[in-house]
Amino acid sequence: MNPARTSEHRPFRAAAIALLFATGLAACGGGSSTGPNPFVPAPVACDSASASSADGFTIGMCASTATSVFVDVGSAVQIPLPTDSYILTLNFPAALDANDGPTGFTAANLTAPEWGRNVLGALQGVSYENPLNTMLSAPYVALTDFHSPTAYLYNPPWLPPQLQYVRFGTWEKVPISTEGFVGPWYEPISENVKNFWPSGTNRRYLGYIVGAIGPDEDGSAALGHLRSFSAPIEIQVDGSSGRIASAQIGTMVMPYYDSNLLKFDVLRVDPVSLQQSGTDTVDMALTGSMISAAGPDADLVDGRFEAKYFGVSGDYSYELAGRFRFRTSNGLIAIGSFGAQFVPPPPG
């Protein structure tokens, strides 16, 4: 790692939660009772540690230990009219239920583009915060939306799709300065958008993923704090069944600042694909595992995804969106969401 690099300049997205980790490390002197100084007490774990769940799609981050755990948090996003309106409702496990409840966002909560809080990985979307402050500090709730993203200083393999029927992104809740949470979301834009599987010819969907990745509960040295990332995704669907035949995630990139210039690191994991499970699930969702191909970099030791089709009458299953989580062999955990759009075959 280049010592001149600095973390992103906002919470997890560019560093408020990354700052949370830096503060925690500084507070405990970078050591513990197992370090060279036996008189330095071990850092106290946060409440999220006792509420961890291997099946969760949310990351709970603790400043004192500079570690993260998966947490099972229910989340839903309503998108009422007018545009730039969202209602994020979170339902935490019992040990953390003081954080439950809805948070509303409107155009008045839209962050300024120059703040950079709308950038995840190499994609730029829109970002909302409640309350909205120039200098972000706890308590706050934030939401990003990438249904209409642009590439940010990094050449993509294809232009990010402008999704018509579904929105996706991440949410953050930081109730106190020592602990925070980040999770993925995806929702249709209205009740008129339906979830029907495609049929007929095979289909190809192109899109992008966005997410957050950081050290696990053991404090991986692979990354010092939570960072955002993005990557392209290509999904091939079997037209006879509507099931995913193959799905490949491209190179994952993470932003960092070097002399006030935004640059990108490659997340060193072997190529990742989605593999749909053998049985269908309730609510017409596609579910399955995330697996790694052989290679010199870190592998995924566990990964799950879920996805749904979205469209309207005459245009059913035009878009495909979902969420995922994974754990790597070098001690990292990640969450994210994705949105992809059907690419019609060329004529003839």
Digit-coded pLDDT (tens) for 210-242: 999 999 999 988 998 899 999 999 999 998 899
Which residue did the predictor score with more confidence, 258 or 226? 226
Task: Please give the average per-residue pLDDT across 119-136, as a whole number.
Answer: 93
Cα distances from 247 to residues 170, 234, 237, 243, 259, in angstroms, run 21, 6, 9, 11, 37
Closest CA to 321 of 341, 303, 345, 343: 341
Check: CB of residue 129 under 8 Å from CB of residue 137. Answer: no
* Number of domains making up the chain: 1
Q: Which pLDDT score, from 0 to 100, does residue 38 have?
A: 60
Which residue did the predictor score with more confidence, 148 or 82? 148
* Residue 347 is assigned to a structural domain of this protein: no
pLDDT tens, position by position, 163-203: 999 999 999 999 998 999 999 999 999 999 999 999 889 99
Joined together, the tokens standing for residue 189 give 């834009």
Which residue did the predictor score with more confidence, 340 or 257? 340
Check: CB of residue 278 under 8 Å from CB of residue 295. Answer: no
DSSP per residue, 51-94: TB-TT-SEEEEETTTTEEEEE--EEEEE--SSSS-EEEEEE--G
* Residue 18 is assigned to a structural domain of this protein: yes
pLDDT tens, position by position, 268-302: 999 999 999 977 666 889 999 999 999 999 999 99
Check: CB of residue 264 under 8 Å from CB of residue 272. Answer: no
* Residue 348 is assigned to a structural domain of this protein: no
Read off the pLDDT band of 37 (50, 70, 90): low
Cα distances from 42 to residues 18, 34, 178, in angstroms, run 21, 8, 16
Task: Please give the average per-residue pLDDT across 143-163, as a whole number.
Answer: 92
Cα distances from 217 to residues 21, 45, 46, in angstroms, run 13, 10, 11
* Residue 230 is assigned to a structural domain of this protein: yes
Q: Which pLDDT score, from 0 to 100, does residue 281 have?
A: 66
DSSP per residue, 145-202: EEEEEEE-SS--SSPPP--SSEEEEEEEEEEETTEEEEEEEEEESSTT-B-----SS-
pTM for this structure? Answer: 0.89
DSSP per residue, 282-313: GGG-EEEEEEE-SSSSBPEEEEEEEEEEEB-T
* Residue 42 is assigned to a structural domain of this protein: yes
Read off the pLDDT band of 135 (50, 70, 90): confident
Query: What residues make up the domain containing 175?
Result: 5-342
**What is the distance between the alpha carbons of residues 252 and 218, in angstroms, rounded to a whole number?**
23
Sequence-ordered list of residues with C-beta below 8 angstroms from that of 124, at least 6 positions apart, any chain: 113, 118, 149, 150, 151, 152
* Residue 82 is assigned to a structural domain of this protein: yes
* Residue 164 is assigned to a structural domain of this protein: yes
pLDDT at 16 over 90: no
Closest CA to 148 of 207, 203, 93: 207
First-to-last alpha carbon distance for the chain, in angstroms, is: 50
